[in-house]
Structure 1
Amino acid sequence: MKGKEEKFDLVSETKRLIIRPLQEADYENWLNEFKNRYPSKYRHDQGQLDMSECTAEWFENLVYKHQELAVRDIAYVFGVFRKSDGIHLGTVDLSTLARDNFCWGRIGYSIHNQYWRKGYGKEAVKEVLYIAFNQLKFHRIEAHINVDNSASIKLAESVGMEFEVIRKGFIFEFGEWTDNIIYYKNSAIS
């Protein structure tokens, strides 16, 4: 496995995107794109959020926290930026669930709703899966998806993730224990 410093410096480019950890200099761009979100239209669309507590100092602490999580191999949070103009499009994150004999992680993804249906999510998730298997040396990555989140299910399938199981009462959200569909991909099928 690569050294801790190398893990944090993960930067990757696709045809249209730059995928990398957030930096303090991203604050205004990051904040503006959250402020430019459309109102929520679906249950799994956070829509516009109250960003009043997200000061430059708050963001600096967030960047530092992300760095610490990466150095400790707990989580890797990648900002997704459009290559043509540097606009922040969203986030893809990896969480380490187990190492040792498992090398098992979870992927999460969120693209600002004003950039939906342009293929950015698929492009970003596909690249972060490549990073997970080839640079961070995970063997298995799971996506834990609400059973009624058809857009997220389609995205997982479009990047080659396979349905595995429905985990009953898996996560506490929306005021109750909810079921999640588990999609997975492993390094043998990447």
Structure 2
Amino acid sequence: MRGNDLEVFTYKTEAKRLMVRPLKEEDYQGWYKGFNERMPSQHRHDPGKLDMSECTEEWFASLVHNHQKLAAGDDAYIFGVFHKESGGHMGMIDFSTLARNDFQWGRIGYTIHNQYWGQGYGREAVEAAMQIALTELGYHRIEAHINLDNSASIKLAEGIGMEYECTRKGFIYEFGEWTDNLIYYKNAVQR
């Protein structure tokens, strides 16, 4: 369906204050600054400040190329979130293909750098990116897999119209154990 060439990953969209688009090699300085200016971790689902010592321009160019390869294979579509006025890098959104054919099913992941929290950027970015996923990328169903105690992520999913479906028990191995996840979903509009 998608993913036969690298041109597949040129999709972008604008929101009121944000641009959501694939990373480009020339984004390195802004990308680095966005990650490097993160505050310390605010809760267990926030990695906070990261060790950026290995994130050279060469490393970043390889990252951009790998994002394109993932899109070309229809495995994942990874977008940067940028402030329209300043051009600053504010976070990332990704869509992973879970199944195609009769399902057209994907999973969304999202993160906004913690220095930008509490200003509605997450909702604005995810809402815009979902339009790409449910139209241009051809997904019929997008799921968010959310930790039971991640209230900010739950609020964001519900705020963009995703619906709670179920709790999957022992769904993902993280924090040294198999943890439960809430499953929220959104389907494309029926044609």
TM-score, normalised to structure 1, is 0.96
Paired with 2:127 and 2:40, the residues of 1 have a C-alpha distance of: 27
Q: Secondary structure at the match of 2:32?
A: helix
Q: Secondary structure at the match of 2:189?
A: helix
- Tell me what 1:116 maps to: 117
Paired with 2:188 and 2:42, the residues of 1 have a C-alpha distance of: 36
Report 1:1-190 matches (<5 A).
Answer: 1=1, 4-188=5-189
Paired with 2:7 and 2:114, the residues of 1 have a C-alpha distance of: 32
Amino acid aligned to 1:108? G
Identity of aligned residues (%): 62
Amino acid aligned to 1:122? R
TM-score, normalised to structure 2, is 0.96
The runs of 5 or more residues in structure 2 that have no matched partner are none
Return the offset for 1:15.
1.2
Contact kept, 8 Å, 2:164 with 2:183, in 1: the verdict is yes
Return the offset for 1:6.
4.4
Paired with 1:38 and 1:12, the residues of 2 have a C-alpha distance of: 28
The runs of 5 or more residues in structure 1 that have no matched partner are none
In angstroms, what is the RMSD of aligned CA positions?
Answer: 1.2
Paired with 1:102 and 1:188, the residues of 2 have a C-alpha distance of: 14
